[in-house]
Amino acid sequence: MRRCAGILFVLAATQPVAAHSVAPPSSGQAVVPPAAPGETLFRNVRVFDGKSDHLSAPTSVLVRGNVIAAIGGAVNAAPDAAVVEGGGRTLMPGLIDAHWHAMFVRPTPEQMMMGDYGFNVLQAGAEATATLMRGFTTVRDVGGPSFGLKQAVDAAVVPGPRIWPSGALITITSGHGDFRPLSELPRDGSKPLSRMEQLGATMVANSPDQVRERVREQLMQGASQIKLTGGGGVASPHSPIDVSTFTPEELRAAVDAAANWGTYVMVHAYTSPAIRRAIDAGVKVIEHGQLMDDATAKYMADKGVWLSAQPIVEEFFGGMFPPGSEQAQKAQEVMAGTDRLYGMAKKYNLKVAFGTDVLFSAAMARMQGRMLASLSKWYGPAEILRQATSTNAELLTLSGKRSPYKGRLGVVDEGALADLILVDGDPIANINLVADPERNFLVIMKDGKVYKNSLGRP
């Protein structure tokens, strides 16, 4: 299937893509927009710039093409500029989810592993549009065959967020992400790749050379960063949560291969031994971390390693697995560690990125904004908004020249890319506004194009 995708890529690269304007079925619904207008003026808005603790005084923001061209009370727009009358509402950067699985949100595990791949891709396209309409204009995809989806979004085939793809998450035999049935063991060179490997969702590697090869394959396909599972996981059937997986030599092979391409490795890890092993190998970002101890949190801070954390709590993740199952027991252990994790992150001033880690549930995906707002248990509103805008944008810069989009994200600054949300209210005064984007996000712009406008056409 990946060979077919490669053929499609070559064809798409040699044929022009026509831009078509599609009339929206009703106000506020997403469409594939035409080319961005020459200028769009947001007038009489209060700006959350992605960095401050407060909103600006009423001002205007001028977008020219896909870039914020000017900010100020006396901004002059072209006579034919589209005008959005803000009415004193809040203009803020588009949201960023740093732990997203674009291909794995809507299918069930059974559909993902055994169902029709075309159907799964169409579901992912629909979810990409829904993600954008929740105000998440960028996602860091941390494992899954999202290269084709990214291509479709970038070519305006389907509306969706910017995607920083990792490609297949790389694991070991029995590790988190190894979904093979026991009937496929033992594995040797005479056996074909598993279904998940054929789809490019996960890759099993059991030596430094195999790890190096798998990393290079993802980079060849366009990965902007690399994902390894350095410890046990909740959803995988053969992966105890306390285990450490890759050897130090295997981890270093991945780090070196990624560094040769100017990018980095992130590692899924919950426990202190798995986290420390990854850090010592040169890994720059730890995903999850709910079961680490205080000393390891300090070690992360001393080494300048990022924590990509998610509010894995009962409200969102309870009931995902059958009661009494091994997966349910592992989930309870992780959820019990979330409060302590955020406490340690604040204690040691860790560099914390926001993500959600939604899997196998369109209903859970619709709570993406609620997950962000739920951080109010640990952070103030401005801190929460910064985490999902400028802080996450800083994390994305770790990809260096492998970043698929050039320009600054996560801020409302002159010269930054025009990913913007007009909020009906003040989210610093009421962070719960982000929990209901359908009602409260009146205008959603990505790359200078308006995908939602509940105020009517400008």
Tell whether 87 and 110 lie within a shared domain. no
pLDDT for 13: 33
Look at the chain and report how many structural domains it folds into. 2
Same domain, 148 and 280: yes
pLDDT profile of the chain (458 residues), mean per 10: 32 32 40 65 96 95 96 89 95 97 85 83 94 98 95 96 97 84 71 80 93 97 97 82 93 98 97 97 97 97 97 78 78 88 96 92 91 96 98 98 96 98 97 97 97 80
Secondary structure element (H or E) that encloses residue 96, with its range:
strand 95-100
Residue 61 belongs to domain with CATH number: 2.30.40.10
Q: Are residues 279 and 298 in the same domain?
A: yes
What pLDDT, on the 0 to 100 scale, is given for residue 239? 82
Q: Are residues 112 and 88 part of one domain?
A: no
Distances (CA, A) of 179 to 113, 184, 241, 288, 446: 8, 10, 15, 20, 36
**Same-domain pairing of 425 and 279:** no
Q: Fill in the amino acid letter for 161.
A: P
Residues 286 and 422 in one domain: no
Q: What confidence score (pLDDT) does residue 179 get?
A: 77
Question: What pLDDT sits at residue 213?
Answer: 96
Same domain, 443 and 342: no
- Say whether both 65 and 130 belong to one domain: no
| pLDDT the model gives residue 176 | 86
Tell me whether residue 2 is in a domain: no
> Same structural domain for residues 130 and 245?
yes
**pLDDT for position 197:** 81
> Do 200 and 126 lie in a common domain?
yes
Which domain covers residue 105, as residue numbers?
Answer: 96-378
User: What residues contact residue 86 under an 8 Å CB cut-off, 6+ apart?
Assistant: 42, 43, 44, 45, 46, 422
366's tokens: 């619709």
Q: What is the CATH number of the domain that holds 267?
A: 3.20.20.140
Residue 368 sits in the same domain as residue 417: no
User: Looking at the structure, do residues 57 and 113 belong to the same domain, yes or no?
Assistant: no
Residue 391 lies in a domain: no
Burial 87-104 (b: 16+ CB within 10 A, else e): eebbbbbbbbbbbbbbbb
